Amino acid sequence: MVDLSVLPTEPFEIILILIMLGTLLFIAFSKEIFQQAVAFIVYMVAVSGIYWILGAPIISVFQLTIYAGTTGVILFAAMSIFSTDQEEEEKTEV
C-alpha cells in the first residue's frame, strides 16, 4: 500500500478549495440546470478529497457514494423526466 502521509498536503488542499469555489460560483451564475448538476457533482468530489486529506477516509467514501453518486443520479433522473414533460407541453402549445 502506498503511504501518502509523506506527501505535502497543502498544494492539494489549495487546489481542492479552488475547485470548490469555482464550482460554487459556476452553480450560482449558470443558467443551464444540466451544467449546474455536473458542477454540483464536481463540488461533492472535491469535498470528498478534502475529507480524505483531513484523514477521514470513511467519510470521504460516504461523500463520494451518497452525495456525489446517488444525488447525481437522482438529479439526472429528475432532469430527464421533467425535460421530456416540458418538451411535450411545448409541442402541444404550438
Structural domains of the chain ordered from first start: 9-93 (1.20.120.1200)
Residue 75 Cα distances to 6, 29, 70, 79, angstroms: 38, 18, 9, 6
Find out whether 39 and 26 touch, Cβ atoms under 8 Å. yes
The whole-number pLDDT of residue 34 equals 87
Question: Per-residue confidence of the chain (94 residues) as pLDDT tens digits?
Answer: 667 676 666 888 889 999 999 999 999 999 988 899 999 999 999 999 999 988 999 999 999 999 888 888 998 888 888 876 555 666 666 6
